[in-house]
Amino acid sequence: MTRRAAALALAAIGWLGASFGAGEARAEKMVVSLSNHRVAINSNFSGEDLVLFGAIEPSGRGEQLHGKYDVVVTATGPRETYRTRRKARVLGIWVNVDSREFAQVPSYLAVLANRPFVEIANAETLRRLRIGLDNFLLTQRIGPDLADTVRDDPFRVAFVTLENSYGLYRESPEGVTFLTPAVFRAAVALPSQVPVGTYSVDVKLFADGQMVAQTTTSLEVIKAGFEQYIADAARDHGLLYGLATALLALLTGWIASVVFRRD
C-alpha cells in the first residue's frame, strides 16, 4: 500500500513539475519489443541472435524528452544450480579437490549497454541496481548460508570466466546502439548450447547517471520437434527409451550384417 501511495505521489509530483515547467521532469517511458519471443532449438540449431528494439517516449502529453539517454539491457536465462570444482595436484595427478555450489544463478546472462557502465552511472548506483557481471548477484552456498561473495573471489571469477568462454555469460558496452536519440536496438546473442527455459530481459533507462525508467519483457527457448521428443522420452520414460535405443542398435547391426553379407 505504502509503495503504491509513494509511487502515486511521485507521479503527481512529476506531473506537477511537468505542467508548471519547473526544471527537470523525469517522466520517460520505454516501449520495447523482441524480434522473437520463442526460440526453437531444432536439429540444425547453432545459436540465434535476437534483436531488441526500444523507443523512449515521454509518459504524458506536453512533456519533453531529456535528450541524452543511456540504456542497459540485462538478459537472464532460467535459474540453475551449478557446482564449480577446483583441481589441484595430488600425488602427481590433477584431482578435483575443492568445490563451491552456485545456487539458483542464471544459466544465461548478458549485460549490454551503449557505453561503458562506469560512464553511465557511478559505482554505487551500478552496485545497487546490480548492473554488469561484477555486480550481478551470484549466490553461493557456503555451509548452510546462501550469499554472494566479493567480486574477486576465485570461485566467482572462475565461474564467470568459464561461463563467458561458453558464450553464456557476457557483457558488452557496445551491445546497445541508438538509432535516433530516442530509438535503440540491442543484440542478444544466444549461443548454440543455450539452456532451454524462460528468459527475462530487463531494460533500464538512465539519464544523468540516474535510472529513470525500467521495463521487462521475456522470451522462451524451447526444444522443438524431434529434439523435444527425444529429450522428453529420455527424461520421462528412461527405461523404454533405453530399450528402444538398444533395439535400434540391434536393428542397425542386423541390417549391416544382411547388407554386407558375402556368403
Whether residue 34 contacts residue 22, with contact meaning beta carbons closer than 8 Å, is answered with no
The site map against other proteins for 93-112 (x = CB under 8 A) is xxxx--x-x-----------
146 binds other proteins (CB under 8 A): no
CA angle 205, 151, 134 (to 5 degrees): 25
Indicate which single residue of 19, 33, 64, 81 sits in contact with other proteins (rule: CB under 8 A): 81
Indicate which single residue of 48, 57, 80, 134 sits in contact with other proteins (rule: CB under 8 A): 80
CB nearer to other proteins: give 118 or 234: 234
Contacts of 64 (CB under 8 A, 6+ apart): 25, 58
Q: Cβ 52 to other proteins, closest distance in Å?
A: 24
CB nearer to other proteins: give 66 or 100: 100
Q: For residue 195, what is the DSSP state? A: P
Residue appearing with cell numbers 574477486: 152
Contacts of 175 (CB under 8 A, 6+ apart): 73, 110, 111, 112, 113, 114, 186, 187, 188
What are the Cα distances from residue 216, in Å, to 33, 36, 187, 201? 10, 15, 16, 6
What are the Cα distances from residue 143, in Å, to 20, 100, 147, 152, 159? 57, 10, 10, 20, 19
Q: Cβ 95 to other proteins, closest distance in Å?
A: 6
Q: In the range 18-57, which residues lie near other proteins by CB under 8 A?
A: 41-46
Binding segment (CB under 8 A) for other proteins, from list 56-64, 118-126, 128-136, 228-236: 228-236
What residues make contact with other proteins under the rule CB under 8 A? Answer: 41-46, 80-89, 92-96, 99, 101, 155, 158-159, 161-163, 192-193, 195, 223, 226-228, 230-231, 234-235, 238-239, 241-246, 248-250, 252-257, 260, 263
